Amino acid sequence: MQAEEPTVISSKPQSESITDMTEYVLPQHANALGGVFGGQIMAWIDLCAAICAQRHSGHMAVTAFVDDLKFEQPVKIGEVARLRARLLATFRTSMEIEVVVEGENLKTQRRWPCVRARLVFVAIDDDAKPTAVIPLALDSEETRISQAEGEARRRARLDRAETTRT
């Protein structure tokens, strides 16, 4: 009997790595005003994006860069933070991921925007070296635009890093 050829995947759709997380805000997450600490939300964002990056790449992935964060409205004790991470673009070994955080009040059913963040993760192999990732499937106008915009932001980031080095 012939050995089966391993399946070679040339690209992967964005839908396969979308990651949702729901966090109930407890007193230990909150500041003296009763709202979630910014650092706690950042930790949840990092975790949600890391799962998305690892789901897409099939590798461990480390945070390389976090874009500016703007906290729009607080989420208070007894309310819920809803996070959704989606892959915006892939490069050689790195991936750009967006995480959108919303607040939710379970009594009133109201939802509101809390934070939007973009992060870059680098896939690493068993020797902790950057390793190539499967490209994002450019199977819709939305993903083609998101890949092109991600490439422009990547160039700007690398230029900035180069300028600060010199």
Ligand X SMILES: CC(C)(COP(=O)(O)OP(=O)(O)OC[C@H]1O[C@@H](n2cnc3c(N)ncnc32)[C@H](O)[C@@H]1OP(=O)(O)O)[C@@H](O)C(=O)NCCC(=O)NCCS
Interacting residues with ligand X (CB under 6 A):
62-65, 91-94, 120, 122, 130, 157, 161
CB of 146 to ligand X, least distance (A): 16
What is the rounded distance in angstroms from the CA atom of residue 146 to the CA atom of residue 25?
32
Phi, psi of 88 (to 5 degrees): -95, -35
CB of 27 to ligand X, least distance (A): 27
Q: Which is nearer to ligand X, 65 or 71 (CB)?
A: 65
Phi, psi of 37 (to 5 degrees): -55, 140
Q: Which is nearer to ligand X, 83 or 133 (CB)?
A: 133
Alpha carbon 21 to its chain centroid, in Å, reads: 12
Task: Please measure the distance between the N-terminal and C-terminal CA atoms of the chain and give it in whole angstroms.
Answer: 60
CB of 121 to ligand X, least distance (A): 8
Q: Which is nearer to ligand X, 25 or 49 (CB)?
A: 49
CB of 78 to ligand X, least distance (A): 31
Q: Which is nearer to ligand X, 145 or 161 (CB)?
A: 161
Beta bridge partners of 62: 122
Q: Which helix (H) or strand (E) holds 86?
A: strand 80-90
